[in-house]
Amino acid sequence: MLVEGENYRTVWMEGSVVKLINQLKLPREFSVFSCSGYRDTADAIRSMVVRGAPAIGATACYGMAQAALAGVSLDVAEKELGTTRPTANDLQDAIKHFKKNFNGKNAVEVAEGYANKSIERCRKIGEYGEKLIKNNSKILTHCNAGWLGCVDYGTATAPLYIAKQKGRNFFVWVDETRPRLQGAKLTSWELMQAGIDHAVIADNAAGYFMKKGEVDLVIVGADRIAANGDVANKIGTYGKAVLAKENNVPFYVAAPASTFDLKAKTGKDIKIEERDENEIHFVENTRVTPAKSKARNPAFDITPMKYITGLITEEGILNPWEKPESLL
């Protein structure tokens, strides 16, 4: 994607150094974060310098390449990288891909191939999904399932970018996405780079605009999709799906094959990461809750298949009850 006229991916490799767009600095500052070894790369995933399921996967694959170049056991590297974030399936998919395809000499090529494949998957998601976006549509999205959360294009945003390239006019409602504000900070920044008209709204305002008839379509991403079509995504997604169903608004999930986990029969089998409660207590280093109050901070929730209109994949738009085996 273009940033100030220059093309960037979210993650890439220079020599043995993994380079990442530092998402903790956006939108105030655009900077590149360098990881000199696989442990640094694992820390970058853990601290959310990089986040978003496909981006985490590609970054972990580059981390495995770093370990291989340094002569570190792949099992040791897997233990370090594979435990950084428990919910996103792409993390395990990428590590599995690297171990399967590494032949002792081709570490960088394997990682680069995985990243390129991820980009192509997202591009195809955009090609299929853009058909859902009509002129003057108003689309709601949640969290950041954009190119920052992938290697390029994004998942939920890929249809937006392709539709924009084809000259379509539309408007995007951007949920702020508490507590880390990925929508307000990242999705809005992305859409500004692409020249897409949008407005950031408080998470709790989505139902208000749906009821007023000002939302034609919801598109979100996913961190893991169970075999029955249940979807794990950023906390708050479930509520948006229920509101969409109540207000007869189509609700789509955009995700590549790497996000499907057929070992998880239903959403109940997906582990939900619970993060530090201080993410709730503090906004921009300012505490907003009483000093002795407690908080809970689940990072994701599960949206049951019955609330999902369709899954936008690189192979087309699936009904959520269709089996995804052909993708894998």
pLDDT score of 319: 86
The residue to which tokens 């995804």 are assigned: 324
Q: Which helix (H) or strand (E) holds 257?
A: none
Q: What is the pLDDT of residue 42?
A: 98
pTM: 0.95
Q: Report the alpha-carbon distance of residue 148 to residue 152 in Å, rounded.
A: 7
The structural domains of the chain, ordered by start, are 2-122 (1.20.120.420), 128-327 (3.40.50.10470)
Alpha-carbon distance of 267 to 270, in angstroms, equals: 5
32-35 vs 170-175, strand pairing mode: unpaired
Give me 313's structure tokens. 């994949």
Angle between helices 53-69 and 89-101 (to 10 degrees): 30
Q: What is the pLDDT of residue 4?
A: 81
Q: What is the pLDDT of residue 324?
A: 72
Angle between helices 74-81 and 89-101 (to 10 degrees): 170
Tokens for 88? 């996103």
Location of structure tokens 């790369």: 41
Where b means 16+ CB within 10 Å and e means fewer, 166-179 reads eeeebbbbbbbbbb
Tell me if 44 sits within 8 A of 52, measured CB to CB: no
Whole-number Cα distances in Å, 156 to 129, 141, 217, 305: 9, 7, 12, 17
Q: How far, in Å, CA of 247 to CA of 244, rounded?
A: 5
Residue ranges in the chain assigned as alpha helix (H): 38-46, 53-69, 74-81, 89-101, 107-129, 158-165, 182, 188-194, 206-211, 237-246, 278-281
Q: In 3D, which of 98, 294, 103, 320 has the Cα closest to residue 230?
A: 320
Each residue's pLDDT, cut to its tens digit, for the chain (328 residues) gives 888 888 999 999 999 999 999 999 999 999 999 999 999 999 999 999 999 999 999 999 999 999 999 999 999 999 999 999 999 999 999 999 999 999 999 999 999 999 999 999 999 999 999 999 999 999 999 999 999 999 999 999 999 999 999 999 999 999 999 999 999 999 999 999 999 999 999 999 999 999 999 999 999 999 999 999 999 999 999 999 999 999 999 999 999 999 999 999 999 999 999 999 999 999 988 999 999 999 999 999 999 999 999 999 999 999 877 767 766 6
Distances 36 to 15, 20, 63, 79, 288 between C-alpha atoms, Å: 10, 11, 10, 18, 36
Point out the catalytic residue in the list 93, 216, 223, 230.
223
Q: List residues bridging with 253 in a β-sheet.
A: 220, 311
What was the pLDDT predicted at 328? 65
Residue 223 among the catalytic residues: yes
What's the rounded Cα separation, in Å, for the pair 309 and 321?
A: 10
By DSSP bridging, strand 310-313 and strand 217-220 are unpaired
